[in-house]
A and B are shown apart, each in its own frame.
Chain A
């Protein structure tokens, strides 16, 4: 198989044995990017020279017998909402198009410490708001399985680059399904760790109480390797958990006897596509055939998850994004044209003798805020800022935000109870497979409803993973979601690995990108 689609485990073996250099591997990925980036557009920026230089340096250290990190020489793609020192970190927003942070996110520092080769920054929905990667200011990413379809989102580039063989591993972020849903649409494996498992320091915040960084790969084993490097306590993040990190890759090989898989009654209702349902039910039968018990459970408050999520996430976002105002960094409106506009208004109002309107005119500072934010943010980001600002306003706070917090606790309680009976919960990731570009762009509500199965995991602070479990008749990947209690990534990975040992869905590749080179 082409180097581009090799597993991390296999590649590390070859690198260690001297059968392969990181430079050759990085070149192979770059060649794949050259071939397919124009159509797929998974990256917003490719660090060709820096990646090759880094690969050469690692190869040299390896030849010199120096000790190397656990991901030494592997090309890894980074979602563009993770701060990389001195390099643009744009969140796919015009607002940060020219912004380069002066510091590395904790996960970036960890990846560098693990001797990974950071090959580039991947495309995403603007500020991670969206489920299709269409809201990127750089234009959409396309699904390598069908270029007419979306790759999912918001980590669409992170998933698509793996499906297209452009990197060995990638790092995304998940606030309401942003790793799991694109993993499902692109036929790769993506894990959302427990809230607090991975440091958020340097992840540009969307919704602080929900955001979590996580690994994507082409197998559970690869994802486990990457999670091993990402996970762990960080004194720079007060919400990161000071809990020991197990040896995830090692854990995979331990058998998981007596597994009880829960399936959620509420997951199989209206709106779930028939092919997706069939594939998920078949996946559950695979578990049964492997000796697992299956138990139906109920999550009675899950019907409120979308409403709860779309109060809490925009509320936090409205606050987190307030800092983008054109004052200190990021996009600022053209001041000359602003001043001209403002002066014309003044003259007109003065000529009309409208003193009231003159007194009520924005100060230049306020005008600068307004114009910068109006021009710097896209429509979906503005929609969420307005939703959140409304929900936090005096007189509405109790009815919306406070109530949402209460429901969030009930959702968590549902899961706590469920996990007394089952070890993991299995179900769909998304109601459908990947849909055509533009299908839901003008229908935000339909887009939000697509998050039905994924948002609860963030609201309840659980661990969740998406693994390929089938293809539609049209040849599009279908994902299976597994969820485990907080800090049970080990259990989650073992259960997912068990499935990949018994099936080959995760080894399927899109024709488009796997046949060319």
Chain B
């Protein structure tokens, strides 16, 4: 149902920093914001003779995520070295997973509560675990070309989640990211804080131009440097228009001369993408199995255990709220997006008041507004669900109109 003479094809690569206290292969802290190079040891600085030892918790959190993303979990997974020279990569190889990742072929369902697109399953190609690099800081103040390197982040566990190119609009891409972030926070594997770099997104986008008899694919562009979900949405919208312009000008196709993949960076100030410098020869990472680490065996029983420990996931909760409390998809979405504790509050309120729709309205309007105004979480909200339910019952009986009820609500807040 495209209004353009082309389809937009989007796949996303998301890097998620896992909520572990220590790094993936050593015991250094993963805390954000420490003075440079204070959270390092011989292992994460790649000193001669040092050896990696896998952080079990990081692997468990990855497994949990992969199961929540409906992935297949192979019984055998291993570590590989991805080799390239970069100053913030102290060993000049990154320990990652190449041909036998810990998970493959899953999916995440996305839907727009307002129905902007049809609900769909976005396929997940794989989710694999790897170590992060350090951070290069280019010292421009000194007026020289000097760079400084902070290795605090080097070795932090990253889960890379690669989607199939299943998204057909920037809105779908945004919905995928929102849903993924919600899922990751619900299962407690990441705080998904983009400012602190705990969630990073790269996008691959091209167009399928409507021509007869077949559609023609344009060259794929990888878009980087997007610092918020909003930026992702805008960058992709910009890129689709730009690529169509380029197509009309050049008629360059994917896989033909000049049709190779290129990389562009999003400039948030100028709201444009710009080409990024790339090597002339295609990079050869010379992957090979890391001989310092043993492969990891995951038994089917372990997977069953992980699945059992996941708890109810957002999509299921939305459905349950609709089914059990008679609220619509949009309202269920708003409540679920607030996190598990708000859901619990809503459920308690709806049960006690015996009126799901009214509970939904009050939670969305009065309760959430209060939380926003006060900058607090539901755990700091002073009115217990049972007490609010009594108020709702009074309104329901018709003994109090809504505006009087709101006065009472304010009094309860003040008393709390």
Q: B-contacting residues of A (Cβ < 8 Å)?
A: 81-83, 89, 91, 96, 99, 101-103, 105, 200-205, 207-209, 235-239, 315-316, 318-319, 322-323, 325, 327-329, 364-366, 369, 389, 392-394, 397, 401
Contact = CB atoms under 8 A, between A and B. Distances in A.
A89 B48 CA distance: 9
Contact of A328 (B45, B286, B288, B294): B45
A219 B83 CA distance: 44
Nearest to A329: B47
Contacts of B291: 207-209, 239, 316
Interface string B283-300: 010111001111000000
Nearest to A96: B48
Interface in B72-129: 81, 83, 85, 87, 90-93
B49 A101 contact: yes
Given A205-B48, A319-B288, A322-B85, A236 B53 contact: yes
Contact of A204 (B49, B52, B145): B49
B46 interface: yes
Contact of A101 (B48, B91, B292): B48
Given A208-B292, A328-B45, A238 B53 contact: yes
Contacts of A89: 48-49
B87 A102 contact: no
A126 to B, nearest CB: 13
Contacts of A397: 286, 288
A393 B284 contact: yes
Contacts of B310: none
Q: Which 5 A-B pairs have the closest CB atoms?
A: A322-B92, A209-B291, A208-B291, A392-B286, A204-B48
Contacts of B48: 83, 89, 91, 96, 99, 101, 204-205, 323
19 contacts: A83-B49, A101-B47, A102-B47, A103-B42, A200-B49, A202-B50, A205-B48, A207-B291, A236-B53, A238-B54, A238-B294, A239-B51, A318-B286, A322-B91, A327-B149, A369-B85, A392-B286, A392-B288, A394-B286
A323 B90 contact: yes
A394 B284 contact: yes
Contacts of B47: 101-103, 329
Contact of A201 (B46, B50, B287, B293): B50
A322 B149 CA distance: 18
B49 A238 contact: no
Contacts of B286: 318-319, 389, 392-394, 397
B288 A315 contact: yes
Contacts of B42: 101-103
B196 to A, nearest CB: 25
A365 B293 CA distance: 31
A276 B77 CA distance: 47
Contacts of B85: 322, 325, 366, 369
Interface in B310-348: none
Contact of B49 (A105, A207, A366, A401): A105
A205 B93 CA distance: 14
Given A319-B288, A393-B284, A327 B49 contact: no
A364 B145 contact: yes
Nearest to B288: A392
A238 B292 contact: yes
Contacts of A236: 51, 53
A325 B49 contact: no
Nearest to A405: B289
User: Size band of the B side of the interface?
Assistant: 20 to 34
B368 to A, nearest CB: 48
B39 to A, nearest CB: 15
A28 B410 CA distance: 91
B53 A328 contact: no
A196 B302 CA distance: 27
Contacts of A235: 53
A99 B48 CA distance: 10
B83 A319 contact: yes
B87 A327 contact: yes
A393 B235 CA distance: 35
Contacts of A205: 48-49, 292
B53 A202 contact: no
Given A83-B48, A209-B291, A325 B53 contact: no
Contacts of B293: 238-239
Contacts of A208: 291-292
A127 B292 CA distance: 18
A81 B83 CA distance: 24
Contacts of B288: 315, 319, 392, 397, 401
A202 B149 CA distance: 24
B49 A202 contact: yes
Contacts of B50: 103, 201-202
A243 B90 CA distance: 33
Nearest to B290: A208
A325 B49 CA distance: 16
A233 to B, nearest CB: 12
Q: Which of B53, B90, B92 has the most CB of A within 10 A?
A: B92
A411 B292 CA distance: 21
Given A96-B48, A236-B53, A325-B85, 8 more contacts: A89-B48, A101-B42, A101-B48, A202-B50, A205-B48, A236-B51, A239-B294, A322-B83
Contacts of A325: 85, 92
A323 B91 contact: yes
A330 to B, nearest CB: 8
A365 B284 contact: no
Contacts of B87: 327, 365
A22 B47 CA distance: 34
Q: Which of B48, B87, B286, B288 has the most CB of A within 10 A?
A: B48
Interface in B13-55: 42, 45-54
Contacts of B294: 238-239
Nearest to A200: B51
A83 B42 CA distance: 11
B93 A238 contact: no
Nearest to B280: A360
A133 B52 CA distance: 30
Nearest to A207: B291
Nearest to A359: B280
A328 B49 contact: no
B81 A319 contact: yes
A203 B49 contact: yes
Nearest to A240: B51
Contacts of A327: 87, 90, 149
Nearest to B294: A238
B203 to A, nearest CB: 26
B129 to A, nearest CB: 15
Contacts of B52: 238
A328 B93 contact: no
A419 to B, nearest CB: 24
Contacts of A202: 49-50
A319 B46 contact: no
Contacts of B292: 205, 208, 238-239
A201 B49 contact: yes
A328 B90 contact: yes
